[in-house]
A and B are shown apart, each in its own frame.
Chain A
Amino acid sequence: MITATNLALLAFMAVTAWAIARTLNLFVATMLAGIYSLLIATVFVLLDAVDVAFTEAAVGAGITTVLFLGALLLTDRQAKPHKHRFGTYGPMLLVVLLGAALVYTTLDPLMPHFGDAGAPAQGRLAPEFLADSVRQVGRDAPTATHIPNVVTTTLASYRGFDTLGEVVVIFTAGVGVLILLGGGVGSGHRRRPGRRNREETTAGESAAGESTAGESTTGGAGP
């Protein structure tokens, strides 16, 4: 039953991915990408990875779709028909070949198979975390704290440095977007004199005095 459901979901995902690649309507592509995220979230639920599924549904299907919609407002709803250098099916063929190669490598007899109980990851660390996380994390306090969600224990305590790194990645991404798209505080002050148009330059002269005025006259002819 689980296998049948998984196969059905994977088939849906393949169809959705195909449709995303084929459509020129960007709104449709955005919505299909959201559906794709929801499908993979369902697969994660079937794999008993509820936390990952939750994240995928919230981030992939939720926020990402909305951010795409926000970006869609800035451009056309329809993509320009694009003539590929290697024909329509050249890139598709490359992707399929790459995917097949990746699947082929997992068939290597030396690699643990999908869900293999003898895989190294299942060997020592995972059982220890699963069996002992309540005791270890609450060490010296056998009766005190129970944190039943092993995912949270692993994420925040065993892998505390890792998660700190993840937060810093999100921090960096957010700061990067703010710097690139110049939203909010200080965006007006960061533009160099050469970038200013005439009205702003005259306003800047009266406000900022001689040095800015000199810069902007030379800067106007510059880059």
Chain B
Amino acid sequence: MIEHVVLRVIAKLLAPFIVLFALYVQFHGDFGPGGGFQAGVIFASAFILYALIYGVENARQIAPPAVAQAGIGLGVLIYAGAGVAGMLLGGRYLDYSVLAHDAGHGQHYGILIVEFGVGVTVAAVMIAVFFTFAGRRGVLEAREDTAAPPDGDDER
């Protein structure tokens, strides 16, 4: 869709604001509706919008698949790591009260950290899954071109 000027310009204009809104939803989840799940999806949608307009190959250069795939595990590690950090500081697993000088701040920090972990994993999964789906067409076409029918290659 790169030939549509309006779409191209608007997508480029909107993308930073979508990312900003995602960060707002992410870090404002303790005061208003929102949190890691929604923020992750909104964050990913900025990249997906870019990919839809400018093509998957260009989007891959902004969000390399290796980074997205690393993010999938990183988010879970951040979440679980917040729990382990609480244990190391003398609390129970996922008890955030010990993370700061007093329980209130500790809980606040803990909630922000685990929500961040949620956001990272959700955004990374969404981006990676979309790229996988979108890149699938190229894979299928390449396979059709180079397939060796007499070999009886099992279809997928």
Contact = CB atoms under 8 A, between A and B. Distances in A.
B8 to A, nearest CB: 18
A217 interface: no
Q: Which of A71, A164, A167, A197 lies at the interface centre, i.e. has the most chain B CB atoms within 10 A of its CB?
A: A167
B148 A177 contact: no
Interface string A137-155: 1111100110111011101
B104 A59 contact: no
A66 B48 contact: yes
B32 to A, nearest CB: 6
A223 B154 CA distance: 8
A172 to B, nearest CB: 10
Nearest to B114: A156
B122 A148 contact: no
A6 to B, nearest CB: 20
A6 B121 CA distance: 34
Interface in A43-62: 50-51, 53-55, 58-59, 62
B3 interface: no
A145 B105 contact: yes
B107 A145 contact: yes
A151 B42 CA distance: 19
Nearest to A197: B148
Contacts of B32: 149
Contacts, number: 184
Interface string A193-223: 0010111000000000000000000001001
A58 B42 contact: yes
Given A155-B35, A173-B125, A183-B135, A67 B83 contact: no
A168 B30 contact: no
Contacts of B30: 147-149, 152-153
A155 B112 CA distance: 12
A185 interface: yes
Contact of B33 (A59, A139, A151): A151
Please classify how large the interface on chain B is, using the bins under 10, 10 to 19, 20 to 34, 35 or more.
Answer: 35 or more
Contacts of A139: 97, 103-104
Interface in B118-149: 118, 121-122, 124-126, 128-137, 139-140, 146-148
Contact of A184 (B33, B65, B97): B65
A174 interface: yes
Contact of B151 (A55, A141, A153, A220): A220
A2 interface: no
Contact of B128 (A51, A167, A184): A184
A101 interface: no
B66 interface: yes
Q: Which of A161, A181, A195 lies at the interface centre, i.e. has the most chain B CB atoms within 10 A of its CB?
A: A181
Contacts of B130: 63, 66-67, 70
Contacts of A157: 96, 107, 110-111
A160 B83 contact: yes
7 contacts: A58-B41, A63-B44, A139-B104, A152-B29, A156-B111, A164-B94, A184-B132
Q: Which 10 pairs, one residue from A and one from B, show the smallest C-beta to C-beta distance?
A: A183-B132, A138-B104, A144-B104, A174-B125, A145-B104, A141-B104, A70-B133, A184-B65, A160-B94, A197-B148
